[in-house]
Structure 1
Amino acid sequence: MTLSEYLTYWLTHVAQVKVRKTTYVNYESWVRNYVAPGLGKKKLGRLSARDIRAFLLKTAQTCQCCAQGKDKNRPKAKQRCCALGKCCHQTPSDRTVRILLALLRSALQHAVREDEIPRNVAKNVELGMGTMREIEPLTAAEGRQLLAAARGNRLCAAYELAVRLGLRRGELLGLRWEDVDLDKGVLTVRQTLQRVGGDLVIVPPKTQKSARRIPLPPECITALRAQRTQQLTDKRLAGDKWRENGSGLIFTTKFGTPIEPRNLNRSFQALTTRAGVRKVRFHDLRHTCASLLHEQGASARTIMQVLGHSSIRVTMDIYTFVRLDEQRDAIGRLGDALSGDGDPADS
């Protein structure tokens, strides 16, 4: 059995049953676009750690636009790089290479459990430290600036929830009116909206901890009441064109249909320009929420529960950015302690 043959079996009979649909779609894409072309012909029983290491190194250095023929698949009028002999050097990110190794480890571990191979050779492959994307969340002043510019925007309430509660994009777009209690001031995350295999679908939250209840601050309650009024106006103006289909989503188009996630990204980029703040990703609003909560003295466990992380380590390692001023203040306090006059209270 070749690695490609085994991965086809693993995707169909293991991954598809075990993981969420969105995760399965990603697995299938990584196998089809990366693993099968680069390593798929290797016999499963003869696969070595050296083979996997060489594959990952080559993948990291290969332009995927060329390898996958992305530019050639565009209409001729829109071809701009590889199809014209102008390589765009679109190499995979460090994160993508690490994901490929993790996928191989998971698939081969199942092969060990089913006695297809004696050991998981992918476990013997180690990668360098790599580089993490530098993320500098918005400051409190930039957050105020952004939210001020969002007033009057159709998605104003979405931006309020993203900045103040750190909701993920899919969690926002999958939020229903039945998930919020504006009188008690509580929001419950129960589902998420994502594009899977070309379709917009409702799927469960990312992890078990992602399903959570969060208190709503007054600003979010006010924004959601305005959103409800706007949606009722949209429904009246749309008339027979309204297509809610009983979903009860809070954030919809003018005709009641779900919002395309990429359109939210485009709307956000236009908002940052209008607000005059730094260009950040929509997901960075989640980092902004975590860092601002941290700056206001919230405990790591509280931040973890607000954001719906599966572990406190994720919260501390990724989402709590410590600004230079905060570092300077801490070092200053240390200096004051070290230059004390010997008072026993200082010991």
Structure 2
Amino acid sequence: MTRRAANGLGTIVKRKDGRYQAAVHVSTSTGETKRKYVYGKTWQEANDKRVEMLDNNRKGVPSIASSMRLGDYLDHWLEEIIRVERGPSTYSGYEIVVRRYIKKHLGTKKLNALTPTHVRAFVAKLRKEKTVLGKPLSDRYVQNVFETLRSALSSAMREELIGRNVARLVETPSRGGFDAEPLSEADARKFIAQVSQHWLCALWLILVTTGLRKGEVLGLTWSDVDMETGAFRVKRTVQRVRGQLLFGKVKTKKSKRTLYLGQVCLAALARYRQESIDRLKPPYNPAAGQPDDLIFVTSSGRVVEPRNVNTMLNRLLLQAGLERARVHDLRHTAATLLLMDGATIREVMEQLGHASIATTANIYGHVLDEAKRRMAARMDRLASPD
């Protein structure tokens, strides 16, 4: 039996399983309209949910019920907020965290009934969780999962679904020590000498001297770089996400920045540009969405495969007699050498494109301690009698 409300106010029907289903055309967080279904054990329960959605429509609030399960809200958050507002790699990372951990332990809890006690118990369970390889979750990953939940609940507050973010009432799990593994200055010089004749010499120099992320370097175009002044804009990234090669926005607003290349990098880029003219051979095979003037491409004109950069780096380090390292360690190397040379933590934060100075200080605090000791030694020499 179908009981219809006035035109535009939705319908309520009894399902074969005995439940009642209400359907209303509602507004989503993107401003679009879509048909939304809610359910109740009785007609009145389904009608109450229908009225709540209509009331949200009147107030201009996206219609998702505050009494919905957290797992259902997380699906909404991922699809209508994260997928729309953030890059594909961010969406993929959040989706994995939500699917593997948050929904597993908290997905059946009602959004408006979640308590700090639930969240604390969730964190305790995370510390006993295993990765797909059977290893315990790191302190850093536990904190990332917690921060994902907190971010989702903050969105629920902005959508006026809950009055407080209970995750903010729980102490953030300790991230533990973060061990950046930069090359020493001597090893960095060995590495630079080794890559001097490599066809991607300019790429390696940019990585180790500017601290760009791998995807940011691979996303550079010739139009991003002023070859006279050395100024260049970081505004896109290249990543493989679930097997798909994607060109997207940089990680955060702070990541979209203008930096400068030194003369050594500019000279290497100029050589690379000239050599590219001879190296490029048709037929060309650019990746989908690839900018026309991308800098770092293969002989077929296709963007350099991000995974191949890892392989090439380890081969170059081996040839230079150095230990294996990640491409990201070149970023740590640039930051560490800048700090050791007297750069301030804020300058390094801007260079790296970190979202906050706290992130930079957390990663490179040990370098700052060493710099402070060196400053104390300098002042000690100044204060010492001749």
* Separation (CA, whole Å) in 2 of partners of 1:10 and 1:220: 42
71, 74, 83: which one aligns with 1:7: 74
SS at match of 2:246: strand
Q: Deviations over 1:136-172 (max 9, x none)?
A: 4222211110011112222211110011111111110
Q: Deviations over 1:26-68 (max 9, x none)?
A: 2122111221222212232332222222222222222232xxx
302, 320, 329: which one aligns with 1:275: 320
SS at match of 1:272: helix
Contact in 2 for aligned 1:190/1:212 (Cα 8 Å): yes
Matches within 5 A, 1:237-276: 238-243=281-286, 247-276=292-321
Aligned length, in residue pairs: 317
SS at match of 1:276: coil
Shift of 1:181: 2.2
Q: Deviations over 1:105-140 (max 9, x none)?
A: 122233334443343222222244341221242222
Q: Which has the higher helix share?
A: 1
Shift of 1:20: 2.8
Is 1:38 the counterpart of 2:81 in the alignment? no
Question: Which one has a bigger Cα radius of gyration?
Answer: 2
* Separation (CA, whole Å) in 2 of partners of 1:226 and 1:282: 23
200, 205, 218: which one aligns with 2:263: 218
**TM-score, normalising length from structure 1?**
0.81
Q: Which residue of 2 aligns with 1:89?
A: 134
* Separation (CA, whole Å) in 1 of partners of 2:367 and 2:165: 39
**TM-score, normalising length from structure 2?**
0.73
Contact in 1 for aligned 2:339/2:371 (Cα 8 Å): no
Gaps of 5+ in 2: 1-67
Matches within 5 A, 1:141-160: 141-160=186-205
Q: Deviations over 1:273-301 (max 9, x none)?
A: 22122333211212211221222223444
Question: Sequence identity of aligned pairs in percent?
Answer: 39
The range that moved more, 122-131 or 254-263, is 122-131
Gaps of 5+ in 1: 66-87, 342-347
Shift of 1:242: 4.8
* Change in 2 beyond 3 A, CA 1:249/1:64: same
* Change in 2 beyond 3 A, CA 1:204/1:297: same
* Change in 2 beyond 3 A, CA 1:242/1:18: closer
* Change in 2 beyond 3 A, CA 1:91/1:179: same
* Separation (CA, whole Å) in 2 of partners of 1:185 and 1:105: 40
* Separation (CA, whole Å) in 1 of partners of 2:184 and 2:153: 44
The range that moved more, 42-51 or 268-277, is 42-51
* Change in 2 beyond 3 A, CA 1:149/1:12: same
The range that moved more, 16-25 or 315-324, is 315-324
Matches within 5 A, 1:108-257: 108-235=153-280, 238-243=281-286, 247-257=292-302
Which structure would you say has the larger RCO, counting Cα contacts within 8 Å and 6 or more residues apart? 1
Q: Deviations over 1:186-229 (max 9, x none)?
A: 32222211223432222122233322332221211121122213
Contact in 2 for aligned 1:137/1:321 (Cα 8 Å): no
Q: Which has the higher strand share?
A: 2
The range that moved more, 217-226 or 48-57, is 48-57
SS at match of 2:239: strand
Shift of 1:176: 0.9
Contact in 1 for aligned 2:207/2:331 (Cα 8 Å): yes
Q: Deviations over 1:62-110 (max 9, x none)?
A: 2232xxxxxxxxxxxxxxxxxxxxxx53222212211111121122233
